[in-house]
Structure 1
Amino acid sequence: MRNTLGDLNNHLFAQLERLSDEELNGEELQEEIERSKAVTDVANRIISNGALVLQAQKFHTEYKSKDLEKPKMLEG
C-alpha cells in the first residue's frame, strides 16, 4: 500500500469532521483534541519530508552529472 498526499488530505478532513461532531463533549472531546494534535504533528512532518525530497530532486535535476548518484530516498 502506498500513501499519497491525497490520502493525507483525506485523513486531515476526516479528523476535522470528528472534531466538528457536536455530540462530543467532556472527556471524549478532550481525547479527540489530543488525537487531532497528534495527527497534525505527523502530517506536518510528512509535509516537511515531502518538501525536503522535492528540494533534493530539484538539486539533483539542476546539477545532474555522471558522478552524482540519485539519493535512495528519491528512487521510486
Structure 2
Amino acid sequence: MKNTLLDLNNHLFAQMERLSDEKLSKEKLEREIERSRAITGVSKSIVSNASLQLQALKLKAEHHGLSKNDMPNELLKNEQKLIRGGQ
C-alpha cells in the first residue's frame, strides 16, 4: 500500500461529500456515519504517526543537521505530488 497524507486528505473529503448527499436514505446515512467514525479513528492514528515522525526529524535536525536523504518517504511523495499539482 503506497498511500500518502495527501491521499488521506482526499479520502476524508470524499467521505464528507458522501455524508452531504441529500439523496441518502436514513439507513444509508447511518451506515455512512458509522463508516466515517471508522475512517476518523484510522485517520487520527495515521496523523499521529506522521506527527511523531516529524518530531523525530526536527529533533535530529536540531542536534545533528539534516540532509534530503533524511526526509521520510511520505513527505517526499507529498512534496512531489504538490509540485505536479496533486496528481
Question: Which bracket does the TM-score occupy, shorter chain normalised?
Answer: 0.7 to 0.9
1:52 aligns with 2:60: no
Structure 1 residue ranges (4+ consecutive) displaced by more than 6 angstroms after TM superposition: none
Specify the SS of the correspondent of 2:29.
Answer: helix
| 1:39 partner letter | I
Query: How much identity, in percent, do the aligned residues show?
Result: 57
- TM-score norm. by structure 1 comes to 0.78
Post-superposition offset of 1:75:
5.9
Match of 1:6 in 2: 6
What whole-Å deviation, never above 9, does each CA across 1:16-66 have from its counterpart, x for those lacking one? 01101111122111110000011111111111111100001111122229x
The residue type equivalent to 2:20 in the other structure is S
Please identify which structure carries the higher helix content.
2
Equivalent residue number for residue 16 of structure 1: 16
Kindly report the root-mean-square deviation, in angstroms, between the aligned alpha carbons of the 2 structures.
2.0
Aligned residues: 69
Which 5+ residue runs of structure 1 have no aligned equivalent?
Answer: none
Where in structure 2 are there 5+ consecutive unaligned residues? 74-87
**Paired residue for 2:62?**
62
Q: Which residue in 2 is equivalent to 1:33?
A: 33
Which has the higher relative contact order, 1 or 2, with Cα contacts under 8 A spaced 6 or more apart? 2
2-side partners of 1:32 and 1:44: how far apart?
18
